[in-house]
Amino acid sequence: MKQPAVALVIPVFNEEPVLPELIRRLTAVFDGQPAIAWSAILVNDGSRDRSAALIAEHHGRDPRFKLVELSRNFGFQAALAAGLEAATAADAVVTMDADLQDPPELIPEMVAKWQAGAEVVRAVRKTREETGLRRAAFDLFHKLFGALSDYPVEPNSGTYGLLARPAVDAFNQLTERNRFFPGLRAWVGFVRAEVFYDRKERAAGEAQQTFSRLVRYASDGVFSFSYLPLRALTYAGIFVGTCGFLLGLYYIIKRLVDIETAPTGFTTLAALVLFLGGVQLIGIGVLGEYLGRVYDEVKRRPNYIVRRRVGLE
């Protein structure tokens, strides 16, 4: 019988400081489960350090480690998509971060769930070691996203998880540009399972996702999985319109009933104009968010461009 093949897909962006430890810990996991044909596809997302060279060198020592090198920095989601498309030989794919916030020691547990019949295994965080503003922002986002999404949301999980071949194929068909992995994973369905872990601080180096990127990522999550912002605009329009109509009616009746019409009301007017102007600008902004995404989609540019592959066809 053929050995089950499991590939890890790991986006790498300026991760030189963690790569040696990553490779060491993955090797330990691989060697502990010789019944599985392992490979690790590290997707170099335009690193400015020696990450790509390090991976290519290591491929010479251990061909289970493979490299997909993108032509520039395309961002985490694109790198993930590149890895998933490169993992053609795998029966299951594990997606994880390079910085060891996702402990590789959890992989055998995910593989066991897969072998027991699950097709999408999600690693759920029991705790998060991030603190301060970043932490608060993550929590806020998850609350907001849960309330806004038109699809079921799966809280407390990020990229870390396993996808069986059918789920990987389904994923590779999703060619949309503004990608939000946890949302897409919830969207594809399949037989699901969960494993639990404690999320660690990154092992070395600095977070490569800047705060503004995370905000962008979060808004991709909201706008590509929810029409609620648009609907909210309609409701706001109806509400403000109704208020305006009633107010108008009130003034007309007032004028008809008593003739007292002093030329006052500048404050009221100014407040109304500013308020309505604000509502309209927000409305245009929300439309713009959707329009920009539509524009991205119709251009049909590929999500990434591969410069070279090492150890893969």
**Can you give the binding site for ligand UDP, defined by CB under 6 A?**
11-13, 15, 45, 73, 75-76, 79, 97-99, 101, 202, 207-209
Cα R_g (the chain), whole angstroms: 25
Smaller CB distance to ligand UDP: residue 115 or 219?
Answer: 219
CA proximity to 190, closest of 122, 107, 104: 122
CA proximity to 214, closest of 298, 140, 128, 120: 140
Least distance to ligand UDP from the beta carbon of 214, Å? Answer: 7
Smaller CB distance to Mg ion: residue 47 or 101?
Answer: 101
**Residue 182 CB neighbours (<10 A):** 21
Least distance to ligand UDP from the beta carbon of 218, Å? Answer: 11
65 binds, among ligand UDP, Mg ion, none (CB under 5 to 8 A by kind): none
Smaller CB distance to Mg ion: residue 71 or 210?
Answer: 210
Least distance to ligand UDP from the beta carbon of 71, Å? Answer: 13
Alpha helices (H) in the chain, listed in sequence order: 19-32, 51-61, 76-86, 107-115, 132-148, 165-173, 181-188, 211-223, 228-257, 266-299
Per CB under 5 A, the list member of 39, 47, 77, 101 interacting with Mg ion is 101
Least distance to Mg ion from the beta carbon of 30, Å? Answer: 22
3, two tokens: 């050995």
Smaller CB distance to ligand UDP: residue 208 or 226?
Answer: 208
- 45 makes contact with Mg ion (CB under 5 A): no
CA-CA distances (angstroms) from residue 165 to 78, 104, 119, 162? 19, 20, 8, 10
- 99 makes contact with Mg ion (CB under 5 A): yes
- 15 makes contact with Mg ion (CB under 5 A): no
13 binds, among ligand UDP, Mg ion, none (CB under 5 to 8 A by kind): ligand UDP
CA proximity to 177, closest of 299, 10, 46: 299
Residue with the shortest CB distance to Mg ion: 99
Smaller CB distance to ligand UDP: residue 77 or 91?
Answer: 77
Smaller CB distance to ligand UDP: residue 23 or 193?
Answer: 23
CA-CA distances (angstroms) from residue 132 to 115, 129, 215? 39, 10, 16
Do 91 and 165 contact (CB within 8 A), yes or no?
Answer: yes
Smaller CB distance to ligand UDP: residue 91 or 178?
Answer: 178
Least distance to ligand UDP from the beta carbon of 242, Å? Answer: 43
Least distance to ligand UDP from the beta carbon of 246, Å? Answer: 48
Least distance to ligand UDP from the beta carbon of 79, Å? Answer: 4
76 binds, among ligand UDP, Mg ion, none (CB under 5 to 8 A by kind): ligand UDP
Q: For tokens 């990229």, what's the residue?
A: 159
- Strand, coil or helix: what is 75? coil
Do 181 and 217 contact (CB within 8 A), yes or no?
Answer: no
- Strand, coil or helix: what is 12? strand
Smaller CB distance to Mg ion: residue 85 or 97?
Answer: 97
Residues numbered 188 to 217 that lie near Mg ion (CB under 5 A) are: 202
Q: What angle do CA 82, 178, 215 make, to 5 degrees?
A: 110
Q: For tokens 């994923």, what's the residue?
A: 171
Chain residues that interact with Mg ion, rule: CB under 5 A:
97, 99, 101, 202
